[in-house]
Each structure stands twice: as C-alpha cells, then as structure tokens.
Structure 1
C-alpha cells in the first residue's frame, strides 16, 4: 500500500512537471507577443480570449480575415486607427472604443498581427505573414474609427461571417 502511494505521488509529480510544457503555446512571433502583452492584453486578455461585453476574442476571426486582402486591411486599419461601435462575434455583443496604435512602428504592427493570426489562431488557412511594406501602405490611406467600423461590416459580409 505504501509503495502504491509513493508510486502515485511520483507519477503525479512527473505529470505536473510535464503539464506546462505539454500545453505551452508555441510562439513564432515573440516581438508580436511582447507588443500584444504590453498593449492589447489589457482588454483582449492573455492569449486573446477577450473580455465579455468589452473586447472580443482574437482567436478565430483574425485567422479568417488574414486570408483575404480586404480582411488583412481591416486587421491593419483596426490596429493602426482603432475602432468604436457595437460589434458581434459569435453571437456575443461588444461595444468598445479600441484606441489607435499608430504610434507603433510598422514592424511592431506587422509583428503583433502575425502573433495574433499565426500564434493565437489555430486556423489561418493559406494566409501569408504580414510585412512592413503592407503596414506602410495602410498608413498611406488613413481612416477614422467610424470608417474602420463600417469597413468591418463589409469584410464580414464578404467572408460570410
């Protein structure tokens, strides 16, 4: 009986020591994770799980957006210029004023978008990574937060979401 307890305790200890590694998220974009953790996780929470009623989760839609030019631009414009107004994600309503992060460098924006799309989203289809040139092009055509919100509706309809 004592041997069984010792064996069970040893197995439990091994399982506990392996658990964090087994469930650890692989991070391909550490710079993007750092930016996300410092700027975005306040509202979107660690791992992009979102905050009910305030900030939507970022673990599904961005991966779907990233496969189309309009969706990619929507993601970029949202980070660059912010967005406000009510939105719905998977039958949940959110009403938040996301601030502009235009003060971030083009590289930081590309990295954080890559982190969200490729590290937080399990499914991102054939999306290609974001790059600095793409972000620079979005900066050349600035939008206000209302236009970003309106464009989102068109992107959702185009993607069938």
Structure 2
C-alpha cells in the first residue's frame, strides 16, 4: 500500500513514509524519480531511521510538555490550598477582631468612669496642695508668735 508522505491515516501511529506518494508533489523528489534517475542507493533504511528518530524526539517533546502541565496543575492545587488556608486565617482574625470590639464596647462605660475619676483625682490633688499650703501659713504664724 502506498501512502502520501505525511498522512497518518488517523491510526495514531507513525505512518510508513518511505514509500512513494500516490502523486508526486511539486518540487519534491519522489522515490520513483530516484529509482529511475540513476541513483543506486536505497534510502528506505535512512528514511526509516530518520522517522524513528523524529518520532522519538516528538515523543520526548510531548512528554516534556505533559510533565510541564502536570507540574502546573500541582502548583495550582497547592496554591489553591494555600489560599484556602489564608482564607481560614482571615476569617479567624475577623472573628477575633469582632470579639475584641464587642469586649471593648462592653468595657467602654468603665473606661469612661476611669477617665472621669482621673479628672476628679487630679482636682482633689490640687485641692490637697492648696490645703497644705494654707495650713502651713497659720502654722508658721503660730511658731512666730511662740518665739516672741
């Protein structure tokens, strides 16, 4: 059976391409032309060797591409898992922040009372200093009178 060069016939196999095409392709030598052109060498062996090596090369390229896609798939899966972990962490942080805000809101009246007490303590402290200063004046006068 003679096949055209490059036709795979849909079988998925590498076709035997060392036979003459059904019709000559313009600009290419057909085996018939070589046979009748006086060339004595048989090119079937080198042709089969070339196509075998080409098939090996192409299989290597396809395998490498397939491995690249598998690597990308694994990387995508790992990235997806990392994003899920980060989402869980963000949800936990958000929940904890809400809890802290609620606790702060519950403590706010006490914090306001502390601020008010702090102001009152400062005013009381000033009153105590004034009272101390006032009490020193009569004491000094009394001591002065005692010495006379």
TM range (shorter): under 0.3
The structure that is strand-richer by fraction is: 1
Q: Which has the larger radius of gyration?
A: 2
The structure that is helix-richer by fraction is: 2
> TM-score by structure 2 length?
0.21
Structure number with the bigger relative contact order (C-alpha 8 A, sep ≥ 6) is: 1
